Amino acid sequence: MLYSAIATISLGRASAGHSLPTKIQRAASAGFSGLEIFYECLDFFAREIEGLDTEPSHKGLLEAARRVRAICDNLQLAVVCLQPFMFFEGLVDVKEREEKFVLLQFWFELCRELGTDLIQIPSNFQSHGTTGDMERVVTDLRTAAQSGLEQSPPVRFAYEAVSWANYYDLWEQSWAITKQVNMPNFGLCLDVFHFAGRVWADPSAASGVNEHCDEQLNRSLEQLVREVDPVKIFYVQVGDAERLERPIVPGHPFFQEGVKPRMSWSRNARLFAFERHLRGCLPVEKVCQAIFVRLAWQGWVSMEMFHKSLYGTESTLVDHMAERAEASWSNFRLFVESSKP
């Protein structure tokens, strides 16, 4: 069974005034069954509760989480996960590492209030103070997983290979790490954008793709189907991105010094899946076929996208994004069903 979810950030940025309760209600009316609660959305809801325009207190965040759960329970929506727990693994500075583990304990509290048992960790792309040493990374993630098992109820972790991460930007690497962590509550978040956006696409190239892109993608998908235990995929995010008119190099409006092109592309021009009419360009269908048909994976599927338009302040934005997400889910389901033998 495939269950529909949406990332709250994909319905409008909280910093642009799009409140979390409004987005939750609109997700429910669009027919979604679950939500990825994006921390930024929870943060701004807590500020709203406390009447602040700065970082909220832990008390305010916990109250926001309680209210979110009440709204979701009333609408019969599941909270799939809280994300992203960023810049975690491989920190060099001892104090910074200790602070992250302290913060993780607070996230466990947030999970209990939200009624979710899952935290998503994106692979580290912090610009300084990190190491890619595999032993260190695995130790950090295993320690987090062990701490998660001590919670009541236990908390799981979904590790996502971010396509512009410092060291681990391929799903194959996240799978290798997951196997080494070797904990029952530690698995993968597979993101179709990051999957295809790394192995197939290159927004800094004039062609928009990597050399031998199709061959690389096919090889990667064969490995996925052959090697990955579906039980270790905790959930899947499905999305696309715009084909750009020109590459992200100096002079392009998305170009930022020190920011990897894939990150700029993601922040500015991602799309919901199956939006070819908006210049969607990734081989979404091919990746989805491997995950949902050949591997026959079942579980939560989240419609996730980021885009510069999410910063729009117009009151109709949340409705518009919800309509697009609903159409994306419908087209996704149609594709999966029609692809089955």
Write out pLDDT tens, residues 319-332: 999 999 999 999 99
Sequence length of the chain is: 341
Average pLDDT rounded to a whole number, residues 229-243: 98
Percent of the chain with pLDDT over 70: 100
| DSSP code of residue 58 | H
And the tokens for 167? Answer: 């060291």
Instruction: Compute the distance between CA of residue 146 and CA of residue 181 in angstroms, rounded to an integer.
Output: 10
Q: What is the mean pLDDT of residues 238-253?
A: 97
User: What is the mean pLDDT of the segment spanning 10-16?
Assistant: 97
**pLDDT range class, residue 218, cuts 50, 70, 90:** very high
| pLDDT over 90, % of the chain | 99
Query: Average pLDDT, stretch 179-197?
Result: 99
269: pLDDT strictly greater than 90: yes
Average of per-residue pLDDT across 37-60: 96
pLDDT at 49: 96
Give yes or no for residue 249 having a pLDDT over 90.
yes
β-sheet bridge partners, residue 233: 188
CA 169 remoteness from chain centre: 14
Residue 310 has pLDDT above 90, yes or no: yes
Q: What is the pLDDT of residue 237?
A: 99
CATH number at residue 22: 3.20.20.150
pLDDT at 238: 99
53 — pLDDT class (breaks 50, 70, 90): confident
What is the structure's pLDDT at 100?
98
Helix-strand-coil split of the chain, %, nearest 5: 50, 15, 35
Confidence of residue 341 (pLDDT cuts 50, 70, 90): confident
- Mean pLDDT rounded to a whole number for the chain: 98
Whether the per-residue pLDDT at 2 is higher than 90: the answer is: yes
Q: Would you say the pTM of this structure is higher than 0.85?
A: yes
For the stretch 31-44, pLDDT in tens is 999 999 999 999 99
pLDDT number for residue 11? 99
Q: How far apart are the first and last CA of the chain?
A: 17
Check whether 288 has a pLDDT greater than 90.
yes
- Chain CA centroid to CA 259, Å: 19
Strand-strand pairing, 2-7 and 34-38: parallel
> Is residue 311 within 8 Å of 13, Cβ to Cβ?
yes
Q: What is the pLDDT of residues 61-105, one digit of tens each?
A: 999 999 999 999 999 999 999 999 999 999 999 999 999 999 999
For the cut 90, the answer to whether the pLDDT of residue 52 exceeds it is no
Strands 78-83 and 186-191: unpaired
Where do the DSSP E strands lie in 39-172? 78-83, 118-122, 156-160
In the predicted model, what is the mean pLDDT of residues 9-16? 98
Farthest CA pair distance, the chain: 55
Asked whether residue 292 carries a pLDDT value surpassing 90, the answer given is yes
Report the pLDDT value the prediction gives residue 245, as an integer from 0 to 100.
Answer: 95
Give the mean model confidence (pLDDT) for residues 214-218.
98
Structural domain containing residue 151: 2-339
User: How many domains, the chain?
Assistant: 1
| Alpha-helical regions (H) of the chain | 20-29, 39-50, 58-75, 94-114, 134-149, 171-181, 192-199, 213-227, 261-269, 284-288, 317-339
Q: Is the pLDDT of residue 135 over 90?
A: yes
Please say if the pLDDT value at position 127 is more than 90: no
